[in-house]
Structure 1
Amino acid sequence: MAHTIPALIDFEASCLPEHGQSYPIEVAIARTDGESRAWMIRPLEAWKHWDWSEEAEALHGISRAMLECDGLPAAQVLAEMTEFVGGCAVYSDAELDEYWLEVLCQGLHASLPFPIRYLGEWMMSRGYTRPQVVAALEQAKTLLPKEHLAREDAKRLAMVVRLLMETEAA
């Protein structure tokens, strides 16, 4: 089923790429219709010896033990993400999210299921002003203040988009 609504994606990772070879550990997608999903990703065997940052773990609160215990198989995560996205255009506020989707797909020898577009380009193409974007972001941060949790970050971005779209309708 094709959706005409935007979807926002956010990944958490084992570390930032500048700190070593990183892999995705959590991903969330939130659509602007209010639906969202999040998945913890059990590391692929190929990633077992890649880098892990204690600093990143402190930010997102996900340990290696949690991934082994509660993480889902990477192939299942990719399949469920693809199904959830449907025909939505997928956006992110950071290029790193596309990088981690690529790492996930490469690890599974799969092609990218959808492109990830930069959210700033969507905002510019629709003519939103900086004050409009800042106001929407501040309102969303007040309602969803937790950061560095994929589910909360994706939901907050979806809320920003929804708030901006509501200014168009008003």
Structure 2
Amino acid sequence: MGTWCPTILDVEASGFGRGSYPIEIGLARADGTHSALLIRPLDEWTHWDPKAELLHGITRDQLMQEGHSPLEVASWLNDELREVGVAYSDSWGYDSSWVGRLFNDVDLLPGFRLESLRRLLDECQLARWNATKARVEVEAGIRRHRAGEDVRLLQQTYLRSLCH
């Protein structure tokens, strides 16, 4: 029997704090596959922090051209996560508020829970986490602060930091 693997969710956003909204959601499934969707902002989603753009490299124009509607992304998340029931995030405080805003603003209820990835880590994993994450990032050539890459990094770090 193989090692259990958590479903990981990551959100990139227009900025931090009041008025910010999700612009990309990444999902790493228990089978190791991953994907991410850009989100086209709703008309009332106007907050844009140039510092956040520098971090993730996603422009508002790119979202308008390539993004999926917020309703489509929320429906996709429900379809993906309804059976597993839970996804884990390494930035639960931020990610849960952005996922909440996404679902609230399209008047849809999430069919899953979002929990902190930290809940899954034992003391041994916590001690190994940062070094393992840095090694995985380099070895896998991961570009940080894009949701699809971040979920891949987190899932691989989780698996490689397991203590037996």
TM-score range relative to shorter protein: 0.7 to 0.9
The 3-state SS of whatever aligns with 1:21 is coil
Unaligned runs of at least 5 residues, structure 1: none
Aligned residues: 158
TM-fit CA distance, 1:58: 1.4
Find out whether 1:51 has 2:29 as its counterpart. no
Q: Relative to 1, partners in 2 of residues 1:144 and 1:113: Cα closer, same or farther, differing over 3 Å? A: farther
Q: Distance in 2 between matches of 1:65 and 1:103?
A: 21
Find out whether 1:162 has 2:142 as its counterpart. no
| Residue 113 of structure 1: aligned partner | 111
8 Å Cα contact 2:81/2:111 also seen in 1: no
Q: Distance in 2 between matches of 1:83 and 1:5?
A: 19
Alignment of 1:86-101 (within 5 A): 86-88=82-84, 89-94=86-91, 95-101=93-99
The 3-state SS of whatever aligns with 1:25 is strand
TM-fit CA distance, 1:164: 3.1
The 3-state SS of whatever aligns with 1:39 is strand
Q: Deviations over 1:7-64 (max 9, x none)?
A: 11111111111xx4101110100124221110000111232xx310111111111111
| Residue 12 of structure 1: aligned partner | 12
Q: Distance in 2 between matches of 1:151 and 1:55?
A: 20
Where in structure 1 do 4 or more consecutive aligned residues deviate above 4 Å? Answer: none
Q: Distance in 1 between matches of 2:108 and 2:155?
A: 27
Q: Deviations over 1:65-97 (max 9, x none)?
A: 111110001111111122223433310011211
More helix by share: 1
Unaligned runs of at least 5 residues, structure 2: none
TM-fit CA distance, 1:113: 2.4
TM-score by length of 1: 0.84
